[in-house]
Structure 1
Amino acid sequence: MTDQAAKTNLLVVLGATGNQGSAVLKHFANDPSSHSYKLRGISRNINSDASKELAQLGIEVLQGELNDLASLKEAFSGATHIFANTDSNALIFNAISQPDILTEGQTALSYAHDMELAYGKNIADAAASTLTLQRLVWSGIPSPKKCSGGKYTKVSMWDVKEEISEVLYSKPELKGKVSTILVGIYATMPIKLPMLYAPQKQPDGTYEMALHMTGDRPIPLADLDTDLGPWISALFKAPPGTKLVGATENLTWKEWLSKWAKHNNVRASFRRCSDDEVLAKVPGLGDSLLEIASFFEEFEWTGGSTGAVYPEELRKRGVEVSVGSIDEQIARSDCSSIL
C-alpha cells in the first residue's frame, strides 16, 4: 500500500485495467519514491478483480465511461497529468460477436472507428475543461492511410488513433500540453494472440512462426511491464509535442524467433504465410491484417513521420528514459500455453 497524501500532482490513467493503463499505474505504484503523483485509474468496472488489484496498491479507482462526457470530466477532476488510450480491439470484437448492434451499411470496423473517434473527442473535451491539467500523453499509432498517401485504406483501427491525435493537438485549451507515445508491437503478442503470432509446434517437434511478411524488417517491440511507465514519465518531462516511439528493441521477427527458441531450448523456423491463411485466421479482419503487414514491409513503424524519436534520441536530448531488453522479457514470460 502506498501513501499518496504528500503527493503534489494527480496522474489520471484511462483504461486502468487494460494492457497499457495497468502497466503505467503499476509502474508508478510500485516505485512511489521516484515521482510526485497521486494515482487515479479509470475503469468501466470498479468491482472487477483487476480493479481491486489496483486499489490494493493504493491507487484510487473510479468508474468512468468514454462515451459519457460528464463521466470523463469527473474522472479528470483535479488532474495535473493524464495518460489517455483507447482499445480498438475491444470495440471491433464486440461488433463482430454482436452484429445486431450494427446499423444498415455498417461493418464491425466502421462501427468501431466511429465509436472510438467519439471517445477521443470526449477525451479531448474533458481534458480541455480540466483547468489543473499540465500535461497529457496520448497513446497513438501511425496511420497507414495518411502515411501511404491513401494507398492503404483498410486499417481504420490505426487511422482513427491519428484522427484522435489531431483532435487533441487542435484544442486551443490543450496547446503546449500534449505529447504522443507510439507504442510498438507488444512483446507479449505471441502469448496474447497466439493464432496470429505464436510459433506453432510441428509434427517433427520443431516450431514454425508463420506471418504475412518476410520477417526481415525491423519493428519496435515493446515490453509494457518494464518500459511503458518510464516512457510516460519521460514524456511528462520532455517538451510538449514530443512523439516517442515505444521501443524496447528494434528487432526483425526472425531475430525475435531466434531469441525465443534459444530461451525455450527448441528449434524454430520462420515462414511467410499466404493471403488465404491470414484471411482464415480472423474472419472479418483478414483484409486489415494483410494491409498492416504490407505497411510494415514498405514503411518503418513511424510511417516516415517527421519528428518521431526513439528512447536513445530522447536521452541525447537530456531526458532520462530507461529501456529493458527483449531477452529479459522472454526469459520471464510463461510460454507454456504455446509450447
Structure 2
Amino acid sequence: MSKTIVVTGATGTQGSAVVRVMLETGNWKVRAVTRNPESDSAKAIAAKGAEIVVADYDDEASVKKAFEGAHAIFALTNWWEYLRRGKSQDECGLIEERQGMTLARAAAEIPTLEHYIWSTLPAAKELTGGKCPVPHFDYKAVVDRRIREELPALAAKTTSLFFGFYPSNFAYFHMLKPIPVPFAPGRYVWLVPSKKEAKVPTSGNMAVSPGVFVRQILANPSKTHGKYAAVCTEVCTLGGMLKTWSEVTGKAGVFMEIQVEDFAGLLGIAGREAALQLKFGEALDDWYEHVKVKGEFVTMEELGISMAEVADFRGSLEAVKEHLG
C-alpha cells in the first residue's frame, strides 16, 4: 500500500520539486498544501496527480487536518513572504518561528507519522558569536532547537534539511543577478556585498534536488532520523560562481564588491538581508561543521545521491540558461 507524504509550500521552489520527485517514485501518494488551490501552480501539480488541500499556517486546526493520515511531512516556512508585506526583519522572523512551531505541533499529534522533514538553515547569529545575525536563518534555527526541547518524540523522527544558495537565484532573484553596464557594451557587473573568496554551499538544480534529497532521506530512516542533511551539491567561491556564469552565458562578468550599507541603500531591507547571508558565508567556510563534529550530519554520498541527478553549480546554471540574461 502506498504511503502518503504531505508537502507544505507545495507551489514554491522547494515544495514543487518535492511534489514532482515524490510523484515520480510511484510509491508515494502526495498531498500538496496550499492557501490558493485555484492558482496556476496548484492546478499544475494537481494535474500531475497530487491531492490538493487548503491550510493556513496561522490556523493550527487547518494544518492538523491537512496532516491527517500522513506517513511523512515536508515542512517549510517563508520568511521572505512577510518582508514583501512590509514587515521588519525580526517581525518576519517571529512570524516564521510561530508558524514553524504550529507545523511541528500539528505533526507531533499525527499517530501515523513516521518521518518529519523540516527545511531549515544554520543559526548564523549563534555560530558567529553574535557578529553576523541573519534573521531568515536564525528564526528557522530557533524552531530546530524548540522541536528538540519541546517535542522530543517528534525530534526523534525529524530530519532537519539545510538548504544552500540556489543557483537559480542568478535567473530569478533580481538583486543577485549580474546587470549590463550601459557604458561598457558586452560587460555585466555583479554587485556583491562580500568578497570573491567567500565560500557558499550551492543547492544544485532546484527543480529537482529538493525532491531527490527528500526521497533519499525517506528511503534511509535509520541514517536520517534525528539528524541533519544539506541540499548542497557543491561549495563554490563567489568569484568562482561568477566565472562559471560567464562561461555558461558567454557574457563578460565583472565582480564588484559593495559595502552592506550601500547594498541596503540601493535595494532596501531585502538587500540588507541578502547581504547578511553573504557576510555569514565570509565568516564560516563550512556552514554545517557544527553538526558534523557532533556526528549529527548525513552526507549526500551516505544518502546514495548522484551528482548526475541533482547537478553541480555549472549544470544548475545550464538548467536555467534561458533565464540568465
- TM-score, normalised relative to structure 1: 0.86
| Aligned AA (1:76) | F
| More displaced 10-residue stretch of structure 1: 257-266 or 59-68 | 257-266
Check if 1:291 corresponds to 2:276.
Answer: yes
1:212 corresponds to which letter in structure 2? P
Match of 1:103 in 2: none
The answer as to 2:314 corresponding to 1:333 is no
1:303 Cα deviation (Å)? 5.8
CA 1:116–1:139 in 2, change beyond 3 Å: closer, same or farther? same
CA RMSD of aligned residues (A): 2.1
Q: Which residue does the alignment assign to 1:81?
A: 72
Percent identity, aligned pairs only, is 23
* Residue 124 (structure 1) aligned to one of 104, 108, 117: 104
Q: Supply the distance in 1 between the matched residues of 2:273 and 2:8 (Cα, whole angstroms).
A: 26
* Among 269, 275, 278, the residue aligned to 2:260: 275
Instruction: Give the Cα–Cα distance (whole angstroms) in 2 for the partners of residues 22 and 174 of structure 1.
Output: 24
* Aligned equivalent of 2:165, options 185, 189, 192: 185
Partner of 1:102 in structure 2?
none
Pick from 49, 66, 80 the counterpart of residue 58 of structure 1. Answer: 49
Deviations 1:101-141, CA, capped at 9 Å, x for gaps: xxxxxxx2222122111101111110110000000111111
- For structure 2, the residue ranges without an aligned partner over 5 or more in a row are none
Give the superposition deviation at 1:193.
Answer: 1.6
Partner of 1:221: 202
Partner of 1:208: 189
Matched residue, 2:239: 254
Partner of 1:169: 148
Q: Distance in 2 between matches of 1:175 and 1:43?
A: 25
Unaligned regions of 5+ residues in structure 1, if any? Answer: 1-5, 97-107
The count of residues paired between Structure 1 and Structure 2 equals: 314
1:230 aligns to 2:212 (yes or no): yes
SS at match of 1:165: helix
- Alpha-carbon distance in 2 for matches of 1:160, 1:78: 29
Q: Is the 8 A contact 2:162 2:231 kept in 1?
A: yes
- Is the Cα–Cα contact under 8 Å of residues 122 and 138 in structure 2 kept in the other structure? yes
Q: CA deviation at 1:314?
A: 4.3
Moved over 6 A (4+): 308-312
SS in 2 for 1:282: helix
Picking from 30, 49, 68, the partner of 1:39 is: 30
Q: 1:301 to 1:225 in 2, by over 3 A?
A: farther
Q: Indicate the larger mover: 114-123 or 56-65.
A: 114-123
2:207 partner SS: helix
Return the match for 1:147 from 124, 127, 131: 127
CA contact (8 A) 1:247 1:311 kept: no
